[in-house]
Homo-oligomer: A and B are copies of this chain.
């Protein structure tokens, strides 16, 4: 017989490169790195050191994802003799920051980083530890699950994935039913963001274990949908003048997503047990969907974003805010948040809260995240503050 010895090498049970977890300078590989990648490294004071091998490049820049990104301004990296480019930021704001390299102006992911869907593509990101970040750490508490649920949407005519957090005890008592929070990402992100960037499952696990939040189901979907009817018609329209079709996500939530969730999971399917929240664009979508469907939702949260194309609460959302009595009867929570370092969103959240409270609205809450900008640390903190307020009687 003939066996192939060269297979041995290929099939060796490879252990990954074993690199020191802590360097001579006390920096450590970021928690967001892929297994074994030494860079980026985070220093105890929050500085971040980046590295990329690009021997033939003329310039390498570390580009933070967004102007108000907590990593600071774009960082011009320095070439070493070995063609490896290195750069270190000033101390960064805690939390997860998108970034990429510009190598001779081509946008390049960092091979050392896990990827996170943001900015309409898979991007690199680095998570800078927060001294008060224990609320999103994996702790020795009962853990829920995040379930990838495939379902067919009649609205879009295709198969989609929802991500469904079920609390730790979900499978223990087959008779118990749970309230549901629908939780949305921001523009350029997708249904995976709240788990992967936001660590929402750990935040929920910790809050529930501490008795600070009701056990609940959390549903995350991708906030973009093209109606089946518009299909591929947009581009085929006469003269090419037809723009992109409107986002059919609100219709999808009402017609497809909620019925599917209520049919498959043990939900409490009434309005008093259904909440929706979202960040940035997802906050606007939350306001749009919930305020048009107050027979379905009683708890509403907008993190760093709410008012869409009409920033005047007197006339926004079909004038729903003209009737404080109805709102006070139907809405158990109307929640706004922002980071103090995202001035436009922060000013907006403060102003809308004041306007509503002055107009006689009850159940209006403002949360401000100190020192954070239009980024996931604002939204992790918002979720931690928001969730304990839900489904309380």
Residues of chain A touching chain B, judged by Cβ–Cβ distance below 8 Å, are 1-8, 10-22, 34-37, 52-58, 103-109, 111-115, 117, 120-122, 138, 140, 143, 145-152, 159, 164, 171, 174, 187, 190, 195, 201-202, 205, 222, 224, 226, 232, 234-236, 243-247, 249, 264-265, 280-281, 283-285, 288, 305-313, 344-345, 347-348, 351-352, 354-355, 358
When the two chains form their complex, are residues B104 and A57 in contact, meaning their CB atoms are under 8 A apart? yes
- Contact flag A15-B247 (CB < 8 Å), given A34-B121, A121-B34, A232-B21: yes
A187 surroundings in chain B (CB, below 8 A)? 10, 14
When the two chains form their complex, are residues A235 and B18 in contact, meaning their CB atoms are under 8 A apart? yes
- With beta carbons under 8 angstroms apart, the residue of B138, B247, B311 that contacts A8 is B311
Q: In angstroms, how far is the closest chain B Cβ from the Cβ of A247?
A: 5
- Contact flag A306-B150 (CB < 8 Å), given A18-B244, A56-B105: no
A14 surroundings in chain B (CB, below 8 A)? 187, 247, 281
Whole-angstrom distance between the alpha carbons of A305 and B106 in the complex? 38
Q: In angstroms, how far is the closest chain B Cβ from the Cβ of A301?
A: 15
A351 surroundings in chain B (CB, below 8 A)? 1-4
- With beta carbons under 8 angstroms apart, the residue of B3, B52, B244 that contacts A307 is B3
23 contacts between A and B (CB under 8 A): A1-B358, A2-B347, A3-B313, A3-B351, A4-B311, A4-B344, A5-B311, A11-B306, A13-B281, A15-B244, A18-B234, A18-B244, A34-B117, A35-B190, A56-B58, A56-B105, A114-B122, A143-B151, A145-B147, A145-B164, A148-B201, A150-B202, A171-B174
When the two chains form their complex, are residues A344 and B17 in contact, meaning their CB atoms are under 8 A apart? no
Which residue of chain B is the closest to A123 with respect to CB atoms? B111
- With beta carbons under 8 angstroms apart, the residue of B12, B21, B112 that contacts A309 is B12
Which residue of chain B is the closest to A111 with respect to CB atoms? B121
Whole-angstrom distance between the alpha carbons of A310 and B8 in the complex? 6
When the two chains form their complex, are residues A281 and B244 in contact, meaning their CB atoms are under 8 A apart? no
When the two chains form their complex, are residues A245 and B18 in contact, meaning their CB atoms are under 8 A apart? yes
Whole-angstrom distance between the alpha carbons of A285 and B120 in the complex? 37
Whole-angstrom distance between the alpha carbons of A235 and B56 in the complex? 31
A236 surroundings in chain B (CB, below 8 A)? 20
A121 surroundings in chain B (CB, below 8 A)? 34, 37, 111-112
Q: 6 tightest A-B contacts by CB?
A: A18-B244, A174-B174, A138-B159, A20-B235, A11-B284, A115-B122
Which residue of chain B is the closest to A103 with respect to CB atoms? B106
- Contact flag A201-B150 (CB < 8 Å), given A22-B232, A103-B106, A120-B34: yes
Q: In angstroms, how far is the closest chain B Cβ from the Cβ of A71?
A: 20
When the two chains form their complex, are residues B20 and A232 in contact, meaning their CB atoms are under 8 A apart? yes
When the two chains form their complex, are residues B57 and A311 in contact, meaning their CB atoms are under 8 A apart? no
Q: In angstroms, how far is the closest chain B Cβ from the Cβ of A331?
A: 20
Which residue of chain B is the closest to A122 with respect to CB atoms? B115
Q: In angstroms, how far is the closest chain B Cβ from the Cβ of A98?
A: 13
When the two chains form their complex, are residues B15 and A355 in contact, meaning their CB atoms are under 8 A apart? no
> In the complex, given contacts A34-B117, A52-B106, what are 15 additional A-B residue pairs having Cβ atoms less than 8 angstroms apart?
A11-B283, A11-B306, A13-B284, A14-B187, A15-B245, A20-B236, A22-B232, A36-B120, A53-B106, A55-B105, A103-B108, A122-B122, A138-B159, A145-B164, A148-B201
Whole-angstrom distance between the alpha carbons of A173 and B19 in the complex? 47
A7 surroundings in chain B (CB, below 8 A)? 305, 307, 311, 344-345, 348
When the two chains form their complex, are residues A13 and B247 in contact, meaning their CB atoms are under 8 A apart? yes
- Contact flag A13-B347 (CB < 8 Å), given A5-B311, A311-B8: no
Q: In angstroms, how far is the closest chain B Cβ from the Cβ of A308?
A: 5
A106 surroundings in chain B (CB, below 8 A)? 52-54, 56-57, 103, 108
- With beta carbons under 8 angstroms apart, the residue of B113, B152, B224 that contacts A140 is B152
Whole-angstrom distance between the alpha carbons of A17 and B127 in the complex? 29
